A and B are shown apart, each in its own frame.
Chain A
């Protein structure tokens, strides 16, 4: 799996630097988007996975589910920081300010707050079983806010963010080379996320087994 990911990453990077044409109005700054969109996507995906395994844990309290939920949130925090930083740089280059509480900046920032709160809660809870249960409940509770924020925030804050690739009319408005590079970059980042998650979960699991062995 690692070899495939390395090849795919190199291919995406090659395409971004040598094949993708400069975008209208953005020039070569558009290259940032091929990093920014995939990490933002991975950050959201990690949140969904974390909430999903939280729900599974509450149904059936297996250690493995908690490890998935916790490690996915940990990875999500890294991705969301990368997405926020790359977004801020892109925004400085194109709009002239690092931060202006654009709807999407607000949403990604809320996600950052949720990850921070979730990991803080875990760190503050000494008892292992209670930690797993409590963080699963919090992941699900914060999940409730998502549809509301998606609905409310764009109405309260004015947006300059480029519209999504697939806009309201369902029409894809992008150069084909760009589109395929973006799809490949998304697949690559999803692969990187899955690979890291599996590794982390495995590592946490083996650590626990040896702990139990020493006890």
Chain B
């Protein structure tokens, strides 16, 4: 990444933060949604004991759907506010993509750090490997942010919004989702998954970022 792209990325990130502070509904809805799904799962289970594998699967279902609520808004809000055109005129494609991706990632991380302790308190008290759990969550959410920013850009101009984002995301995010569940199960004291999945997760995150970077130009610059 060269210096001007990085400078632009920082500007877009700062803009996103300012907007996030002014307009709290986007990330507040995501946090509340995460809390709602978590309580739904916890209440439905009525204190039943969970195997590590099941707990890991539930954690990732909660994280996936909660991120779907927040990550789809990065471009839609601009479109609704009518600021998309201004951003197109002043922002190059790469700074806009990476600025928004970074912002989405930080918001998702905050959501993860909010939901993880609650999840552990309510559903899985024994953590065998906290570091692995944190690393898996961080890498998994990075993939969601990378794919999510591009897919959110895809849905600009669509006539249907509800649900479309999740439909588009699931196939793309499965290579993150499946190993993350296996690694989380290991971290929660279940049968330890292979640690090479962690490398695979990081590699797939990289590929998603590079792929998003290459493909985003076609969406940003329209003749």
Please list the residues of chain A having a beta carbon within 8 angstroms of any beta carbon in chain B: 58, 110, 113-114, 116-117, 120-121, 123-127, 129-130, 133-134, 136-138, 140-142, 144-145, 148-149, 151-153, 155-156
Inter-chain residue pair count (beta carbon < 8 A): 86
Q: How large is the interface on B (under 10, 10 to 19, 20 to 34, 35 or more residues)?
A: 20 to 34
Tell me the bound Cα distance from A152 to B157 in angstroms.
34
Contacts of B167 in A (CB 8 A): 113, 116-117, 120
**19 chain-A/chain-B pairs, Cβ below 8 angstroms:** A58-B218, A117-B168, A120-B167, A121-B154, A121-B155, A124-B158, A125-B157, A127-B157, A129-B222, A130-B222, A134-B157, A141-B172, A141-B212, A144-B172, A144-B207, A145-B171, A145-B174, A148-B207, A152-B175
Instruction: Select one of A114, A138, A145 contacting B154, CB under 8 A.
Output: A138
Smallest Cβ distance from B178 to chain A, in angstroms? 6
Smallest Cβ distance from B96 to chain A, in angstroms? 15
Contacts A117-B168, A117-B171, A156-B179 aside, 15 further interface pairs with beta carbons under 8 A come to A58-B218, A120-B168, A121-B168, A129-B222, A133-B218, A133-B222, A137-B215, A141-B150, A141-B172, A142-B172, A145-B172, A148-B175, A149-B175, A152-B175, A153-B178
**A156-B178, A156-B182 known; A114-B158 Cβ under 8 A:** no
**A110-B174, A145-B172 known; A133-B219 Cβ under 8 A:** yes
Smallest Cβ distance from A61 to chain B, in angstroms? 8
Contacts of A117 in B (CB 8 A): 167-168, 170-171
Contacts of B207 in A (CB 8 A): 144, 148
Smallest Cβ distance from B50 to chain A, in angstroms? 19
Tell me the bound Cα distance from A151 to B196 in angstroms.
12
Instruction: Select one of A124, A136, A155, A156 contacting B164, CB under 8 A.
Output: A124
Contacts of A145 in B (CB 8 A): 171-172, 174-175
Contacts of B204 in A (CB 8 A): 148
Tell me the bound Cα distance from A113 to B171 in angstroms.
6
Contacts of B117 in A (CB 8 A): none
